[in-house]
Amino acid sequence: DGGITQSPKYLFRKEGQNVTLSCEQNLNHDAMYWYRQDPGQGLRLIYYSQIVNDFQKGDIAEGYSVSREKKESFPLTVTSAQKNPTAFYLCASQQVGGSYDTQYFGPGTRLTVL
């Protein structure tokens, strides 16, 4: 089955710790995205990558970091600098080039800071 997987589904972090959220896709999509979702605020873009070894900050990148060493993988690290990290995190991917395509989403990771 083609799709996007995110792990873990639930993640708990103590204050001051860094945590890494996994996102893997087997859709052969070029672009990948990380969004943060908070109640009543919709989705906000954290980082995106359109090609391996390249990524760009989104609207709320402070306190987060990413890497894109492989086309299939786009892990997100929530650092201790992120002051309010408790949220639902969604990863998405999209084919780039040719006609415009849709973003497809993974099932999400809920991060809770204890």
Partner 1 sequence: AQSVTQPDIHITVSEGASLELRCNYSYGATPYLFWYVQSPGQGLQLLLKYFSGDTLVQGIKGFEAEFKRSQSSFNLRKPSVHWSDAAEYFCAVGEGYQKVTFGTGTKLQVIP
Q: Taking the complex as a whole, how short is the minimal distance between the CB of residue 107 and partner 1, in angstroms?
A: 5
Q: Is 45 in the site for partner 1 (CB under 8 A)?
A: yes
Q: Is 27 in the site for partner 1 (CB under 8 A)?
A: no
Among the listed residues 90, 81, 107, 92, the one whose alpha carbon sits nearest the alpha carbon of residue 19:
81
Sign of CA dihedral 110, 93, 74, 38: negative
Of 16, 40, 84, 98, the one binding partner 1 (CB under 8 A) is 40
Q: Is 61 in the site for partner 1 (CB under 8 A)?
A: no
Q: Percent helix, strand and coil across the chain, each rounded to 5?
A: 0, 50, 50
Among residues 63 and 104, whose Cβ is nearest to partner 1? Answer: 104
Provide CB contacts within 8 A for 27, sequence distance 6+.
2, 3, 4, 93, 95, 104
Residue ranges binding partner 1 (CB under 8 A): 4, 6, 31, 33, 40-43, 45, 48, 50, 56, 58, 88, 90, 92, 94, 96, 99-100, 102-108, 110
